[in-house]
Amino acid sequence: MEKIKKIKSAIENQLKEINSIVGINSLILSVCLVDTMAGFYCGYEGQKGGNKDRYLRFVESYLNEYKDHLYDIRCNLTHSFSNTLANFMFVDNPEYSQVFPHTRKVLDWRIFNIDKFKKDLKEAIDQYFQDLESSNDQGLKENFNKRFDYVGILEDGVLPTVRTLDGKMVKNYDDMDELPGTGIKMALYNPTKLKE
């Protein structure tokens, strides 16, 4: 259970980051996150090849609406920042979606609604973790553990940095500023965000 809690927390942080940006950038991160989830779902342990199969298996189980084109979108965006395989017009404006909810094409291009996909991805991830925690499917749990044990996951961390009052980074205690007339050392503490 501790492993699941750790991964859920890391994935939730990624979803927050995805939702803090818009457009193609958020979609690129989203389709990469599907890769991560596919690895947990299928038990990735560093096998050469099989990425497409893992990706499609997760999409068919949790994002079925996108099964015919999501892998092509992922490949286009992550490998060449293009749209040659999927041929979609990407929309990332909730107002547009509200005004034209049933529009599926613009200028003969199929529409891919990024905002809707991000919501669907969140629901898919929530459903996966619900299945993982409540299911008696030992294969699902074994696959999760295989992926976790093989490579883990990047997590947010903080590296402390200490600076003098004028902003110079300090490595040694003796280099810190002193509170005038007291000999008491003082400095500014700045956390530096990192992935570990």
Q: Pull the structure tokens for residue 43.
A: 């038990």
Q: According to the model, what pLDDT value does residue 77 have?
A: 92
Global model pTM greater than 0.85: no
Q: Is 176 helix (H, G, I), strand (E, B) or coil?
A: coil
Q: Cα 3 to chain center, whole Å?
A: 17
Note the pLDDT tens digit of each residue in 184-193: 988 887 777 6
Q: Cα 15 to chain center, whole Å?
A: 5
- The residues facing 90 across adjacent strands are 112
Note the pLDDT tens digit of each residue in 19-33: 999 889 999 999 999
Q: According to the model, what pLDDT value does residue 155 have?
A: 72
The residue with tokens 């994002």 is 63
Q: According to the model, what pLDDT value does residue 25 have?
A: 93
Average pLDDT, integer, range 85-104 = 81
CA-CA distance, 7 to 11, in Å (whole number)?
A: 6
Contacting residues for 120 by C-beta, under 8 A, at least 6 apart: 63, 65, 66
Is residue 103 within 8 A of residue 4, CB to CB? The reply is no
Is residue 73 within 8 A of residue 24, CB to CB? The reply is no
| Paired sense of beta strands 169-170 and 88-91, if any | unpaired
Note the pLDDT tens digit of each residue in 100-149: 877 888 888 888 999 999 999 999 999 999 999 998 889 999 999 999 99
Q: Pull the structure tokens for residue 57.
A: 């298996």
